């Protein structure tokens, strides 16, 4: 199979979908890997490294799209790339379609088979989303602390405090992968950390593993009580494949102190605050109701080298399976991949995306036989 790797063109997106080592492994298996020139430069990978791995370098994205049967990207196609999509192409990348009706409609019209990293499942987990959630969670505390500085318009609170001065207060909405990584970073800095969560078993786990962080059942009353004293609020709520729930209304935000910071990690899925809107690394923040909002939709791109390595480590097995066996057999071997198919044959094939846009839902036309001896068994749901 021919696997294509275009250069990412989203603003300040420096990650690349395949590292040279992953390209090497695919070439060793007899596949053809076509890489757009300079696709890996932002992540520290030179053109020469891809050539040494056996990849073919081309100068135009159009050539990558034209030759590829399987197109592997990091972020969703941008408007300039829409005309390059075609019915016999398999697109494998982060899509976040529940928050983007326009892209959903473009993919439906193109006839492309669109597989979203963020909805591939393995034993109830989202293995292709987790490493980026880990990076975004850890990064949220770094950028939050940065924008709390007075010369950036913040309140001037140092999250860790100093002897004789209380530390800053961090509240994390959601105790999933992003939330727990945010809490660990904030705890490591010495901040006062509270995690709001609805899953009692998850709260028990957090209580045991995060020794100095507090857990609190997530509801509006508890959040309203916390907001007046919060310095850094981190939105890390995830509903797999669906639009993020709007937990923070504008009137609630007014309870926060001027100069406090909101980092909305959920912005890829629409954001968990009424006032959130997508931003870029070029212009990452804006102020609403006196609160600094950081809503960058591709946060891990800031640490492109680490993010690329973490991403390719988890995506490679699926890329290899699709290339070796084709999509139907790859789904048979890795049933969780079936949940990743969001668009196929001009139809919405993920229930959360269909619900978000009030579109008809059609299960992917791929049959998977349950096999209790397969490692991925049990992850496929109707």
96 carries an active-site annotation: yes
Residue whose structure tokens are 């059942």: 217
SS (H, E, C) the chain: CEEEECCCCCCCCCCCCCCHHHHHHHHHCCCEEEEECCCCHHHCCCHHHHHHCCCEEECCHHHHHHHCCEEECCCCCCHHHHHHCCCCCEEEECCCHHHCHHHHHHHHHHCCEEEEHHHCCECCECCCCHHHHHHHHHHHHHHHHHHCCHHHCCCCCCCCCECCECCCEEEEECCCHHHHHHHHHHHHHCCEEEEEECCHHHHHHHHHHCCCCEEEECCHHHHHHHHHHCCEEEECCCCCCCCCCCCECHHHHCCCCCCCEEEEHHHHHCCCECCCCCECCCCCEEEECCEEEECECCHHHHHHHHHHHHHHHHHHHHHHHHHHHCHHHHHHHCHHHHHHEEEECCEECCHHHHHHHCCCECCCCCCCCCCCCCCCCCCCCC
As given in the structure block, the two tokens for residue 346 are 């001009």
Q: Which of 305, 315, 348, 365 is nearest to 70 (CA)?
A: 315
Active-site residue (options: 192, 231, 264, 268): 268
Phi–psi pair at 192, nearest 5 degrees? -85, 115
Report the DSSP beta bridge partners of residue 216. 196
- From the list 14, 31, 96, 350, the catalytic residue is 96
In sequence order, what are the residues at sequence separation of 6 or more whose Cβ sits closer than 8 angstroms to the Cβ of residue 306? 135, 300
Is 268 catalytic? The answer is: yes
Q: Which residues are catalytic?
A: 96, 268
């Amino acid at each position: 199979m021919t696997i294509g790797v275009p250069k990412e063109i989203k603003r300040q997106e420096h990650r690349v979908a395949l590292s040279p080592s992953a390209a090497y492994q695919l070439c060793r298996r007899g596949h053809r890997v076509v890489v757009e020139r300079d696709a890996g430069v932002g992540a520290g990978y030179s053109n020469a490294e891809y050539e040494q791995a056996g990849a073919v370098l081309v100068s135009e994205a159009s050539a990558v799209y034209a030759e590829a049967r399987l197109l592997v990207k990091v972020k969703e196609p941008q408007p300039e790339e829409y005309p390059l999509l075609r019915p016999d192409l398999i697109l494998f990348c982060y899509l976040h379609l529940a928050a983007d009706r326009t892209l959903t409609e473009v993919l439906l019209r193109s006839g492309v088979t669109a597989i979203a990293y963020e909805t591939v499942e393995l034993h109830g987990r989202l293995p292709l989303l987790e490493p980026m959630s880990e990076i975004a969670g850890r990064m949220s505390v770094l950028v939050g602390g940065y924008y709390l500085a007075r010369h950036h318009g913040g309140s001037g609170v140092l999250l860790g405090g100093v002897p004789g001065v209380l530390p800053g207060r961090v509240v994390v909405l959601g105790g999933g992968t992003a939330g727990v990584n945010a809490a660990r970073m904030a705890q490591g800095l010495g901040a006062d950390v509270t995690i709001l969560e609805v899953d009692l078993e998850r709260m028990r786990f957090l209580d045991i593993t995060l020794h100095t962080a507090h857990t609190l059942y997530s509801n509006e009353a508890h959040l309203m009580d916390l907001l007046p004293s919060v310095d850094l609020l981190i939105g890390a709520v995830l509903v797999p494949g669906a639009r993020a729930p709007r937990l923070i209304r504008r009137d609630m935000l007014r309870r926060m102190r001027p100069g406090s910071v909101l980092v909305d990690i959920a912005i890829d899925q629409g954001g968990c605050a009424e006032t959130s809107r997508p931003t870029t690394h070029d212009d990452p923040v804006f102020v609403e109701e006196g609160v600094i909002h950081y809503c960058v939709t591709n946060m891990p791109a800031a640490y492109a080298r680490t993010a690329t390595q973490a991403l390719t480590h988890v995506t490679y097995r699926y890329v290899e399976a699709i290339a070796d066996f084709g999509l139907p057999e790859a789904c048979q071997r890795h049933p969780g991949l079936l949940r990743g198919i969001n668009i196929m044959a001009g139809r919405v094939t993920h229930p959360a995306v269909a619900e978000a846009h009030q579109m008809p839902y059609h299960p992917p036309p791929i049959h998977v036989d349950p096999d209790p001896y397969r490692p991925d068994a049990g992850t496929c749901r109707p």
